[in-house]
Structure 1
Amino acid sequence: MEKGKRWIVGLLACMVVLSACSKENDEKDANSTKDKTNAEQSTATPSIAASKTDLYKMAEPVNTSFILRVNPDLKLPQGDTMDNNLFTRYISEQTNINFKLQWYASNTDYEQKAKLAIASNDLPDAIIVDEKQFRAMAEGGQIEDLTDVYNKYASDEVKKYYDSTKGRALKQATFNKKLMALPNIVPQADAYVLTWLRKDWLDKLGLPEPKTLEDVEKITEAFIKRDPDGNGKADTVGITGNNSTITQWYGHDFRAIFNVYNSHPGIWYKDSSDKVVYGSTTPEAKQALVKAREFYAKGLYDKEFATRKDPNELVVSGQTGLFFQAWWEPFSLGDAIKRDPKADWKAYAITGVNSKYNVSMVATSSSFLVVKKGNKQPEALMKYLNFVTRFFKSPTANDLKIDHVQYVSILPLTLNIDYEDTATKKHDMLVQANEGKLSPDQLTPEMKGHYERWQRVLASSGKPDPADWSAPYAYLYGIGAFPKEEAQNKVYPAYTGTTPTMDKKWSNLQKLEDETFFNIVLGKKPIEAFDQFVSDWKNQGGEQITKEIEAELQK
């Protein structure tokens, strides 16, 4: 089945926003004051040589080679190159690190060249890799141990972001009890699956807001049967589905139903007995499939979801009023709002059978900055990360004089670290500004922009520009729907890398899972087919993969 693409636009837009906001002036707190003062003093007295304890600047100039993924359409100001431009010169001035470009490529060419460089050990001094590559390089002795480097040279600002993950990020970058990489931090807001519905339809039919899956069932049935759009036609469709997957993270899927049963398909996690399990093979997953099958049989799901290329077309046309999606869905609702400005979309978190809001968390880290084995000054990369984090999140007066946008796409090494709950912090900031508790000048540049957009929405007489509406609405009403921390049951992945057997057999195992789950939901196979699936999954490689993961977790 062809993967629909349109609903992924929201994800991509959100990723751009999160990436951009990670490169903005973030909240400042007392922990970063010492670092910032240190940096400003260094800038104010350039004639004084940097000391060995300076967390931002090497005592002597250091050349550091790197490789770069570039956009084929990249255009730079005249006279600038990818390793000699306004920003790299400022980096050199501030850190004494001179980045030297070893090679560059775009898209798939970059991936192929990077894999070849790793395989042949023809590495630059530092490189950003994925988790599979990181673990292979650590296993092969290709990279430096950064344990002492981090402990001695990481700034308080960098440490506070890593500390926000409660040790998970650094643990993911640890191999044989040594910190072998500096990991990124993935915003955890994307893990939450919300129920998005037409609140105006809900009010018209006199229905209460949903709190449980049973409420969702009643609302969906009412939307289908009671003509909420008032056009006199029985043309309202039920919950949208995804023609590519039942449980994988593409949006408009069935994960919300699985989470209700404390089922966490598609991830490896530790169960209550501390045993590693694959979430798609548990008894809870079977319970969720029973309910999903029941919903479809009752006509509560779009009958054509398995063949419909784009579920978002039902949203835009006004034919559906309920679906499951992430907090950033408003980025995909622009056309729907333009067509019907009175459509009042609201998001809700649904409690599970265990009276908790169950969440399948995403990997804490997905990218890793590693330093080539034999590098004599690995602390240079730690100081670079200190600097670039300060530059984008708590810039000094001198930092602010440098264009924060022009050269972002060609940073020598891009590693996004932030609070793992950064989206929630930004929601709180925007709410406080709307309530007058923060002035616009107290906001970060990104959130100040969203605040100004929201003011234009409020002044639009009910006909907002979708370009103004989407981002602030996502933060206010998407993130705003998250349940309180104490009401959540967060299940974190125990392992997000790959194993030898996974490399060989995972595509077949995924196909087995997708086909079985689709056939059960569509009623083409009985629910007992799940038990056969679990047995086949184990015999065809799943059991061996589980053993390999357990072994990896011991390293």
Structure 2
Amino acid sequence: MNRKAKMLLVFTLILSLVLTACGKTEDKANQSKQPDTPAAQEEQNTVIEVSTVVPSDPYLKFDEGETYDDNSIYDAYEKDIGVRIVNKWVTDGSQFKEKLKMTIASNDLPDFFPVNATQLKELTEADMIMDLTEVYEKYATDETKEFFMKDGGMQMKSAMFDGKMMGIPRSSNPYYLQFLYVRTDWLKELNLPEPKTMDDLVTIAEAFVKRDPSGKSFGLAVSKLPFTVDTGVTGLRGFMNGYHAYENMWIEDGNGNLVNSDIQPEMKNALAALQEMFKKGLIDPEFAVKDVEKESELIYNDQIGIVYGASWTPAQLVKGAVKNDEVVQEWGVFPIPSADGSPALNQIGLGADEYYVVAKNAKHPEGVIKLLNQWIAVDNHPTEEQKVYEYGKDLKEKGNNYWLLNPVRVGNQTDNNGVILPKAIENRDESILETKDQRTRYARAVQYLDGDKSMWWEYLISGPNGASSIIPKVQEEKHYLQNKFYGAPTPTMVDRQEILLKKRDEIFFKIIMNQISIDEFDKFVEEWKKLGGDQITKEVNEWYADHK
């Protein structure tokens, strides 16, 4: 072989080796970019199924042809994240808790479901639910992990047992404040000033009763569950807070220990004030047998003009305030007044009273985390297409509570609605809006300003003098008191709490209705201690010593 031929052969071999090496490098690069392995491809394409249980809602309206089992939201989850949702059962919201108890007792669990703090502990101890520590770490997005740490991780800590994450907090903003709502048209009619003190409140209540000579009107709205449930339109929590009394909280005693608020002297003062109002005819004498809706009829029918409630209370007041597209009742919202010179403190909790748990034998716990990720993403920064998760397939606000079909829902632990919304609405300035919630609320309030009276309620929530506008000052001046106990229910709580609350409500009702002397409160305190209260206090303080 001549020299020229040898050189050509060597060059050909080198070129062949280079091309082969390049081909292998490119294959490796492609493999690192694309999930071409069978396992990765299968995970990408497979739809996983998770089951749950659902409370129905009377205000939820479906798009035509849809049901709780077959709807646009469920379709969107399957299409967008590959998770198919199956309802094991659906029941009326009023029966949901009882049916869930039966489901747990029979150990016929769906893959995931919501529980309260006591059930979370019981299910953990019974080894019926899954430790979510690893699955959460693996599948939760960075956004989800950041979302749950905005309060420093307090809500997450409440779901931990022995360092294990046994549930997902059904998170919300802990600043769930109470406000005082008053018929301002009646204030003008009677030439009365806005309420600033509890004495003002009583004076206004007396005047409101006297303005109706029929004898069928009362001063303050109260219903049969005013302490633990009806904090929306007929509750007494805000009233109690005005007397520096707090409903079933653990507060510091000044000596580094925690005591229960239900048995403090301030509670006796608040009950005495309510008893006096009852004797004067300022409270419906039949309140003890009326639920929220029944008592609310008095509000709608111009028989009550004072209500303690949450920021969303106008959404219920609107039933009486707007008729035939006309505002027929004018309401104003005010900070809760104090009985003395010290500011009234709003009682607030942790912001997580319920948890989503996953059954021990669930095949796809990652499906629940994916649902969580998707909810947080679309609730905070949805694309136009993702509005299906809130409004349905037409992507338009219809006021139909359609978003309740989302099986996993958590709320932000913080918001600045009270700073942004009143200013944006007053100036009609959309440019300062930051979140989806703010844009939705702004649009509703502007609808009201443009003549749509059905949106009156949103303006009273978010407008320049709405409930939200009060919140920044409450937070800035720290006019709130947070429950100091956020651990799992103690052993004696699990065993005795329900009995103690039932006894409390029985005595408090009798005192308010003037059936027994206010001094019976002191006997209740002693009985509360003997029935398990002292032991609960001991257990709570043992927990507090490790969590200060």
Q: How does 1:215-230 map to 2 (within 5 A)?
A: 215-224=200-209, 227=211
**Structure-2 residue corresponding to 1:515:** 506
**Structure-2 residue corresponding to 1:302:** 283
**Structure-2 residue corresponding to 1:36:** none
Q: Secondary structure at the match of 1:163?
A: coil
**Structure-2 residue corresponding to 1:417:** 410
1:248 is aligned to 2:228: yes
**Structure-1 residue corresponding to 2:300:** 316
1:161/1:300 Cα in 2 relative to 1: closer, same or farther (>3 Å)? farther
Distance (Å, rounded) in 2 between the aligned partners of 1:318 and 1:86: 41
**Structure-2 residue corresponding to 1:199:** 184
Percentage identity across paired residues of the two chains: 25
Distance (Å, rounded) in 2 between the aligned partners of 1:330 and 1:287: 29
Letter in 1 for 2:336: I
1:300/1:196 Cα in 2 relative to 1: closer, same or farther (>3 Å)? farther
**Structure-2 residue corresponding to 1:360:** 347
Question: Can you list the C-alpha shifts for 1:470-518, whole angstroms capped at 9, x where unaligned?
Answer: 2332333233333431221222262586566556555543343223222
Q: Secondary structure at the match of 1:219?
A: helix
1:330 is aligned to 2:314: yes
**Structure-2 residue corresponding to 1:529:** 520
**Structure-2 residue corresponding to 1:436:** 428
**Structure-2 residue corresponding to 1:281:** 263
Letter in 2 for 1:526: S
CA contact (8 A) 1:268 1:493 kept: yes
**Structure-2 residue corresponding to 1:489:** 480
1:478 is aligned to 2:429: no
Distance (Å, rounded) in 2 between the aligned partners of 1:516 and 1:509: 11
Distance (Å, rounded) in 2 between the aligned partners of 1:256 and 1:111: 26
CA contact (8 A) 1:196 1:348 kept: yes
Q: How does 1:41-440 map to 2 (within 5 A)?
A: 48-49=34-35, 61=46, 63-69=48-54, 82=69, 91=77, 94-95=80-81, 97-99=82-84, 101=86, 103-107=88-92, 115=101, 118-119=104-105, 123=109, 125-151=111-137, 153-188=139-174, 191-224=176-209, 227=211, 233=213, 237-245=217-225, 247-250=227-230, 251-297=233-279, 299=280, 301-302=282-283, 304-306=285-287, 309=290, 310-338=294-322, 341=327, 343-352=329-338, 353=340, 355-373=342-360, 379=366, 381-396=368-383, 399=386, 405=392, 411=406, 414-422=407-415, 425=417, 428-429=420-421, 431-438=423-430
Letter in 2 for 1:143: I
Distance (Å, rounded) in 1 between the aligned partners of 2:66 and 2:199: 64
Following TM superposition, by how much is the alpha carbon of 1:345 offset from its aligned partner in structure 2, in angstroms?
0.8
Letter in 1 for 2:34: I
Which of these two proteins has the greater Rg computed from alpha carbons? 2
Distance (Å, rounded) in 2 between the aligned partners of 1:76 and 1:235: 45
Following TM superposition, by how much is the alpha carbon of 1:252 offset from its aligned partner in structure 2, in angstroms?
2.7
Following TM superposition, by how much is the alpha carbon of 1:348 offset from its aligned partner in structure 2, in angstroms?
0.8
1:469 is aligned to 2:470: no
Following TM superposition, by how much is the alpha carbon of 1:173 offset from its aligned partner in structure 2, in angstroms?
0.9
In the superposition, the TM-score normalised over structure 1's length comes to 0.72
1:218/1:486 Cα in 2 relative to 1: closer, same or farther (>3 Å)? same
CA contact (8 A) 1:276 1:546 kept: yes
How large is the RMSD of aligned CA atoms in angstroms? 4.3
CA contact (8 A) 2:300 2:317 kept: yes
Distance (Å, rounded) in 1 between the aligned partners of 2:425 and 2:405: 33
Letter in 2 for 1:324: Y
CA contact (8 A) 2:50 2:364 kept: no
CA contact (8 A) 1:193 1:327 kept: yes
Following TM superposition, by how much is the alpha carbon of 1:89 offset from its aligned partner in structure 2, in angstroms?
6.2
Question: Can you list the C-alpha shifts for 1:367-425, whole angstroms capped at 9, x where unaligned?
Answer: 323344477975554344212321343234664688852685655xx222222345x62
Following TM superposition, by how much is the alpha carbon of 1:274 offset from its aligned partner in structure 2, in angstroms?
4.6
CA contact (8 A) 2:318 2:457 kept: yes
1:130/1:396 Cα in 2 relative to 1: closer, same or farther (>3 Å)? same
In the superposition, the TM-score normalised over structure 2's length comes to 0.73
Q: Secondary structure at the match of 2:267?
A: helix
Following TM superposition, by how much is the alpha carbon of 1:222 offset from its aligned partner in structure 2, in angstroms?
4.2
Question: Can you list the C-alpha shifts for 1:197-248, whole angstroms capped at 9, x where unaligned?
Answer: 12233344444322222332333344455x4xxx8x5858452242414533
Q: Secondary structure at the match of 2:193?
A: coil
Q: Secondary structure at the match of 2:248?
A: coil
CA contact (8 A) 1:183 1:369 kept: yes
Q: Secondary structure at the match of 1:106?
A: strand
Q: Secondary structure at the match of 2:115?
A: strand
383-392 or 443-452: bigger deviation: 443-452
CA contact (8 A) 2:251 2:259 kept: yes
Distance (Å, rounded) in 1 between the aligned partners of 2:258 and 2:450: 53
Letter in 1 for 2:236: F
CA contact (8 A) 1:50 1:59 kept: no
Q: Secondary structure at the match of 2:182?
A: strand
Question: Can you list the C-alpha shifts for 1:282-320, whole angstroms capped at 9, x where unaligned?
Answer: 1221222233333444x2723635467444344333344
CA contact (8 A) 2:350 2:482 kept: no
1:538/1:151 Cα in 2 relative to 1: closer, same or farther (>3 Å)? same
1:90/1:258 Cα in 2 relative to 1: closer, same or farther (>3 Å)? closer
Following TM superposition, by how much is the alpha carbon of 1:522 offset from its aligned partner in structure 2, in angstroms?
3.2
Q: Secondary structure at the match of 1:331?
A: helix
Q: Number of aligned pairs?
A: 488
1:264/1:69 Cα in 2 relative to 1: closer, same or farther (>3 Å)? same
Following TM superposition, by how much is the alpha carbon of 1:258 offset from its aligned partner in structure 2, in angstroms?
1.6
**Structure-1 residue corresponding to 2:534:** 543
CA contact (8 A) 2:421 2:462 kept: no
Following TM superposition, by how much is the alpha carbon of 1:277 offset from its aligned partner in structure 2, in angstroms?
3.0
302-311 or 467-476: bigger deviation: 302-311
1:50/1:214 Cα in 2 relative to 1: closer, same or farther (>3 Å)? farther
Distance (Å, rounded) in 2 between the aligned partners of 1:319 and 1:401: 41
In structure 1, stretches of 5+ residues that fail to align are 1-46
